[in-house]
Amino acid sequence: MPTTETAPALDLTYIRSQFPALAQTVNGHPAAFLDGPGGTQVPQCVIDAIAGYLRRDNANTGGSYATSRRTDAMIAEARAAMADFLNCGADEIVFGPNMTTLTYAMSRAIGRELEIGDEVVVTRLDHDANVSPWLQRAGDRGATVRWAGIHDNDCTLDLADLASKINSKTKLVAVGYASNAVGTINPVKEIVQLAHSVGALAYIDAVHYGPHGLIDVKALDCDFLVCSTYKFFGPHMGVLFGKSEHLQRLRPYKVRPNTNAIPNRWEWGTLNHEGIAGIAACVEYIADIGRSARPEINSPDAGTSGVSKRRRAIEAAYEVIHEHERALLERMMVGLEEIPGIKIYGITDPARFPERCATLAVRIKNHTPLELATKLGERGFFTWDGNYYALNLTEHLDIEKSGGFLRIGLVHYNTAEEVDRLLAALHEIVGR
């Protein structure tokens, strides 16, 4: 195994102590949560924020009394926290149930402007939540959908093919920041530039990238970016960033009494207030990792040049998260390659690991993904089998009918010891 050790700045013992779920056992085995791509566990601070809101402040918004005013203030703070997380304005943050629901709602509004002859570009690497809404809305409006292909050998986007599909008729390019199935990180900034070169909108699905890498929508210059907080240690909710000019110009489908002011015109009915309280807490949890790694962020003169202290802390957090996950990925990759009959999908060359996150999709000869996931689950390893809604990818690779992939997802609370135990368990299962 590689000798790379966890980055000293990441106190893994302290990190893990904040997640109550990690202490569970299954059939006498310590639970190893390797299911992060489907949803991460939550730290105690998020649990406390959700419970605390329900215990003290539960009310609807806009009322002339204490709990309603505290609810308004809490939502404003959560919006500011997510604005720091994504590096945008607070009025560019829209809360919703999940990325899929938000994308369907936005596709209806953007779809108002689609006409016969217009084109939308999607990719075969993406989660279907950034494909089906555009397929269906384009179909409603008589627009054409163009598909960008992939390189089968490493499951990366074929950028030349993508560029060839973007032309003067293109109105929107929908692409993922990272593949939730095989871990590929796409060159999103380059893709946004391609879209903008023809006047098209760029719609980015950052759900899978959220726990692994820093997101900066200003640097990307994307028009929209969506993520789900339950993928980065928060509650089951979604968040949409939209450039303010788009949120103001586009016409949402909404009830008449709802305000026309942004971002609230894109939020209908009563929001999940307790979940929003949890969002603020999960952003603070990530920022605290950065504050621990770089205590100078807390100094009185920090946070200059228009960058908040919390944003600086988030940036520092992702530096140490990246180091830790990179070490785990290298350890896992070397061990997986020693398992007889295994096929690893995606990038396997360590020199190219900056192009992927620590999410691995595999198949092992003579063992279905479901069989592997079941046997691992009995030993306390939580992994996923199937297509994870990356249906176009599994169909393209011709593995959908045979069960898709076994997916192993690593995040910053996972350990080298868990990696080693998983590899030993796979050797035992395959050897029988």
Closest CA to 432 of 383, 375, 394: 375
Average pLDDT for residues 13-27, to the nearest whole number? 97
Residue pLDDT, tens place only, 301-319? 665 567 899 999 999 999 9
Q: Is 432 exposed, middle or buried (0-12, 13-18, 19+ CB in 10 A)?
A: exposed
pLDDT at res. 298: 80
Q: What are phi and psi of 240, to 5 degrees?
A: -120, 130
The SS3 assignment for 204 reads: strand
pLDDT of 6 strictly over 50 = no
Average pLDDT for residues 34-55, to the nearest whole number? 98
Q: Are 190 and 159 in contact (CB under 8 A)?
A: yes
Model pTM score: 0.95
pLDDT at res. 183: 98
Residue 73 CA to residue 157 CA, distance in Å, equals 43
Residue spans per domain, the chain: 12-42+315-431, 47-282
Average pLDDT for residues 66-77, to the nearest whole number? 98
Residue 300 pLDDT level (bands cut at 50, 70, 90)? confident
Neighbours of 76 (CB within 10 A): 12
pLDDT at res. 119: 98
Position 392: which residue type?
N
pLDDT at res. 5: 43
Average pLDDT for residues 283-287, to the nearest whole number? 98
pLDDT at res. 431: 87
pLDDT of 432 strictly over 90 = no
Residue 50: alpha-carbon gap to chain centroid: 21
Q: Are 331 and 416 in contact (CB under 8 A)?
A: yes
**CATH of the domain spanning 12-42+315-431, picked from 3.90.960.10, 3.30.2010.10, 3.90.1150.10, 3.30.300.20:** 3.90.1150.10
pLDDT at res. 255: 92
pLDDT of 7 strictly over 80 = no
Q: What are phi and psi of 46, to 5 degrees?
A: -70, -45
Q: What is the DSSP letter of 53?
A: I
Q: What are phi and psi of 385, to 5 degrees?
A: -125, 155
Average pLDDT for residues 106-121, to the nearest whole number? 97
Average pLDDT for residues 217-232, to the nearest whole number? 98
Over the Cα atoms of the chain, what is R_g? 22
| DSSP result, 308-336 | -HHHHHHHHHHHHHHHHHHHHHHHHHHHH
pLDDT of 401 strictly over 50 = yes
Closest CA to 381 of 423, 413, 416, 412: 423
* Strand pairing report for 359-364 and 405-409: antiparallel
pLDDT of 3 strictly over 60 = no
Sequence-separated (6 or more) residues with CB below 8 Å from residue 218:
87, 88
Q: Which two tokens stand for residue 124?
A: 């075969």
pLDDT of 23 strictly over 90 = yes
Average pLDDT for residues 144-164, to the nearest whole number? 98
Average pLDDT for residues 316-334, to the nearest whole number? 97
Question: Is the bond leading into 211 cis (omega within 30 degrees of zero)?
Answer: no
Average pLDDT for residues 200-209, to the nearest whole number? 98
Residue 252 CA to residue 136 CA, distance in Å, equals 17
Query: Phi/psi zone of residue 389: left (φ > 0), alpha (ψ -120 to 50 degrees), beta?
Result: left
Q: Is 377 exposed, middle or buried (0-12, 13-18, 19+ CB in 10 A)?
A: middle
The SS3 assignment for 172 reads: strand
Q: Which two tokens stand for residue 204?
A: 């980015």
Residue 198: alpha-carbon gap to chain centroid: 27
pLDDT at res. 305: 66
Mean pLDDT, the chain, whole residue set: 95
Closest CA to 386 of 129, 32, 38: 38
pLDDT at res. 297: 87
Residue 151 pLDDT level (bands cut at 50, 70, 90)? very high
pLDDT cut 70: percent of the chain above it: 97
pLDDT of 343 strictly over 50 = yes
Whether 12-42+315-431 shares its CATH topology with 47-282 is answered no
Residue 1 pLDDT level (bands cut at 50, 70, 90)? very low
Query: Phi/psi zone of residue 222: left (φ > 0), alpha (ψ -120 to 50 degrees), beta?
Result: beta
pLDDT cut 90: percent of the chain above it: 93
pLDDT at res. 304: 57
Neighbours of 400 (CB within 10 A): 16
pLDDT of 4 strictly over 90 = no
The SS3 assignment for 367 reads: strand
Q: Which residues pair with 271 in a beta bridge?
A: none
Average pLDDT for residues 406-423, to the nearest whole number? 98
pLDDT of 140 strictly over 50 = yes
Closest CA to 180 of 345, 418, 377: 345
Domain 47-282: CATH class, spelled out: alpha beta
Q: Which two tokens stand for residue 367?
A: 């063992």
